[in-house]
Each structure stands twice: as C-alpha cells, then as structure tokens.
Amino acid sequence: MPFPLPGADRIEVGPLFALIFLPGAMGLAAAAGIVLTAPETLDGLSGPAFAATLVKLCYLGTAAAHVGRFIVEGTDGGPGHPAWWTGDHDDLPVARPDADPMARWRLFPNALDGALLAFGLTALVNGVARLLG
C-alpha cells in the first residue's frame, strides 16, 4: 500500500513570500553593497555571478534554518507547543497520546516544505551562477 501524501488545509502567503522573495532580495542587496564599496572583492567574477553566489548563500542559510525548525518541531514540539522545553532536564516534553500525527502537514509551507523549497531555490540559483560565471 503506498504512503498517502498529506495535503495542506491552508496556504500561508506571508511565510511563503518571505521564503521565496526575501533571501533573494537580501542577497542582491548585499552583493550590490559589496560591489559598490569594495569592487576588488569580486575576485575575477562578473557582477551578476557574484550576486548569484551571494543569493545562493542566502537561500542555503534559509534552508538550514528550516531544517533546524523541522528538527525542533519533531523533537520538542517547537516554541508554540505548550510543553516547550524550558531548560530543565526534568521537564522535557512528552508526546501527548491524543496528538494528531498529521497536524504538521495542515499548513503550507511547514518546516519541511520550507527547507525543500529553499534547497531547490539554492540549486536553481547555483545553476544560474555557474552559467553567469
């Protein structure tokens, strides 16, 4: 029997926008600032190739943050969980028996969706950087 793929009940536009647009915009802004203030840092790369490399690093950082969020939500429940770990080893959260195992899939993008989307954008920008460089 194949594994049923979960479906999202709701799409959050704000986090999706922040996941797709903001790392790219910040990478371009950082590249423009570096090129304008210290053009010798290009190290033989063209301006667009340098910008694409910084955008790639921003998307990679975003992907790493979402992987960390996925791990935290899977182990401790995350900051929104009522049993979030406060620092004492005696009060580690225990999974509630009535918890819905599909609850993390009700929202798009969740932590895993965000990580995979950011890794995909990293690979896409990496290909563009290689074409430009």
| 108-117 per-position pLDDT tens digit | 788 888 999 9
Respond yes or no on whether the N-terminal peptide bond of residue 109 is cis (omega within 30° of 0).
yes
Contacts of 112 (CB under 8 A, 6+ apart): 66, 70, 104
Residue 79's pLDDT is: 56
What's the confidence (pLDDT) of residue 45?
A: 84
| pLDDT over 70 (residue 18) | yes
**pLDDT at 72 exceeding the cut of 90:** no
pLDDT at residue 94 is higher than 70: no
Of 73 and 17, the structure prediction assigns the larger pLDDT to: 17
**pLDDT for res 103:** 62
